[in-house]
Each structure stands twice: as structure tokens, then as C-alpha cells.
């Protein structure tokens, strides 16, 4: 949770030989990775409500969305500033206690925000970003601990999700899965990236292409695909299988090639940023 927003080294998802990415691209990809999940969770929840009640209106979701994201952002910033200051004032004699405080900060960020009607995921993410970019005692220790905890959580999550997958059923969704993957990778993702980054002249077409290619992978889409199963939506197992297939194909195709794409597009740190 607690780590700086920008890192000079490419993340593990950049694949072998990814090298040094431009710092602004690294920060942009990490920002997108953490901030789009809370919005995706809200949208999936809203979609399930609309499936269950087709006559429901979209208008009530607008103020709810603003409230959840607004409270999540505000409380995340407040807690992210408050916890490092608290650690400084506490002057803990045992360094291990700072790790306990960091876990408490994550739980507090999520729980308090959720109770008040905000988005706990967004609050926890922003609190971690804010706290990770402040200077305080045991900052490096907490960062390493939280990073290891995040990897452990990912391993447990993938093992749990694996229990829901039946390999014999994946063959039946291969054709639609490949079609969805191709549309997302080659059409939908590039169009959305170029539109969203159009106002930012700092990112040239090479940077936008790289960001377009650095997407889709991750366990969150698979987790979200379990929501229809829990809600009892007809055909939910097929939806889950297709999403799982899309994530696997994306990981196998995009993950190992990110380093090669970065070098071919020249978006490494040694390349000057376009004005």
C-alpha cells in the first residue's frame, strides 16, 4: 500500500528486459492501474443492479458515483497525510510496530470511507500513494513490507480464483474470448488512451501507443467476473470463463512483449520527453 507513486524502474509487468521507463510513463501506468479499479467495481455493481431491475434509471447512480469517488479521494488524502505524522509523533521504539500501524492505516482507510458512503478501495489507494511519497521514520521498511504483503495477497487471490476455473470449459469460449481480446487490445484500449491523453501534449504518439499496449492484464477483471456468479446472473459462469480467458491471453501476449515494445517505441528514460 505505502509506496511512492513514481519509480524509475519498470514494474515486473513490463517483462524481462523492460529497462528504465520514462518516469512520467511509469507514474501514469501506476496511477491508472490503481485508480481504475474502484471505478470498475462501481460500474460492475451498477450493471448488476440494472440486470436485476431492468426498469431502474441511471440517474440515481450519478450522485452516488460522485459521492463515492469524492469521499474516497478526500479521506484518502487526509489519512495519507495524517498517518506519517502520527508515526513521527509516536516515536516507536520497536520498528515492527510501524508495520502494524501501516496495516491499521490501510484498514482504517477502507473501513472508515466505506462506513461514510465513500469508495474504500480508492481511499486506501490514495492514502498509500500520499503516505508513500512523504518522508518519515521507517518509510523504507514499511514500503518493503507492504510490497511483500501485496505480492502475497496476489498469490492467494490467484490460487482462490483458480478454484473457480474449469479448464475443460475454456475451449468452448476460445473463439469469443479471442475476439474480445483482439477488440480490447487493438481497438478499444488504443482509442480510449488516445482520447484521454489528447489534452496532455507531454505524451507523444509513441508514449500513447505504449500505454495502449500496457493494459488489460491483472486479476481484478477476474475478481469482478465473480460478482455475476454471486448475484446469480444467468450465464455468469460463461462470463467468468470468457473474462478469465481474455486475461490469460493478454498476460501471455502483452506481458512478455512490454520490454520489447518500450525499446522499439523509444520510451525509455534515456529518450528525451517531447515538449
CA 64 centroid distance within chain: 21
Residue 89: its pLDDT value, please? 77
Lowest mean pLDDT among 82-86, 110-114, 175-179, 189-193: 82-86
Distance CA 142, CA 26 (A): 21
C-beta of residue 105 within 8 angstroms of C-beta of residue 124: no
CA-nearest of 106, 116, 107, 117 to 2 is: 106
Reported as a single tens digit per residue, the pLDDT across 109-165 is 999 999 998 888 889 888 888 888 887 777 788 888 888 888 888 788 778 777 778
**Per-residue three-class SS string for 14-54:** HCCCCCEECHHHHHHHHHHHHHHHHHHHHHHHHHHHHHHCC
pLDDT digits (tens, 9 = 90+) for 209-256: 999 888 766 678 888 888 888 888 888 888 888 888 888 888 888 888
Q: Is the pLDDT of residue 275 over 70?
A: no
In whole angstroms, what is the distance from residue 133 CA to residue 121 CA?
A: 19
SS3 state of residue 166? coil
Which residues 6+ apart lie within 8 Å of 237 measured at CB? 169, 229
Strand partners for 21: 268
Name the band, by pLDDT with cuts 50, 70 and 90, for residue 94.
Answer: low
Q: pLDDT tens digits for 23-42?
A: 788 888 877 877 778 888 88
Judged by DSSP in three states, 9 sits in strand
- The mean of the pLDDT values for the chain is 81
Amino acid at each position: 500500500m505505502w509506496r511512492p507513486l513514481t519509480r524509475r524502474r519498470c514494474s515486473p509487468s513490463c517483462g524481462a528486459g523492460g529497462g528504465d521507463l520514462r518516469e512520467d510513463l511509469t507514474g501514469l501506468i501506476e496511477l491508472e492501474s490503481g485508480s481504475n479499479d474502484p471505478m470498475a467495481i462501481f460500474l460492475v455493481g451498477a450493471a448488476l443492479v440494472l440486470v436485476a431491475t431492468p426498469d431502474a434509471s441511471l440517474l440515481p447512480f450519478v450522485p452516488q458515483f460522485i459521492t463515492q469517488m469524492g469521499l474516497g479521494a478526500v479521506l484518502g488524502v487526509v489519512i495519507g497525510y495524517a498517518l506519517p505524522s502520527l508515526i513521527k509523533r509516536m516515536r516507536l521504539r520497536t520498528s515492527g510496530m510501524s508495520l502494524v500501524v501501516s496495516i491499521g492505516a490501510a484498514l482504517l482507510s477502507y473501513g472508515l470511507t466505506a462506513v461514510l458512503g465513500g469508495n474504500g478501495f480508492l481511499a486506501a489507494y490514495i492514502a498509500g500513494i500520499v503516505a508513500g511519497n512523504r518522508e518519515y521514520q521507517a518509510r523504507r521498511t514499511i514500503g518493503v513490507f507492504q510490497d511483500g504483503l501485496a505480492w502475497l495477497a496476489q498469490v492467494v487471490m490467484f490460487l482462490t480464483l483458480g478454484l473457480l476455473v474449469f479448464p475443460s470449459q475454456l475451449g468452448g469460449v476460445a473463439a469469443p474470448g479471442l475476439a474480445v481480446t483482439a477488440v480490447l487490445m487493438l481497438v478499444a484500449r488504443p482509442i480510449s488512451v488516445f482520447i484521454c491523453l489528447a489534452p496532455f501534449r507531454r505524451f507523444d504518439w509513441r508514449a500513447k501507443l505504449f500505454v495502449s499496449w500496457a493494459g488489460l492484464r491483472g486479476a481484478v477483471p477476474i475478481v469482478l467476473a465473480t460478482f455475476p456468479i454471486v448475484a446469480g446472473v444467468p450465464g455468469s459462469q460463461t462470463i467468468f470463463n470468457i473474462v478469465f480467458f481474455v486475461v490469460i491471453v493478454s498476460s501471455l501476449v502483452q506481458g512478455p512483449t512490454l520490454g520489447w515494445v518500450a525499446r522499439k517505441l523509444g520510451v525509455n528514460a534515456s529518450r528525451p520527453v517531447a515538449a
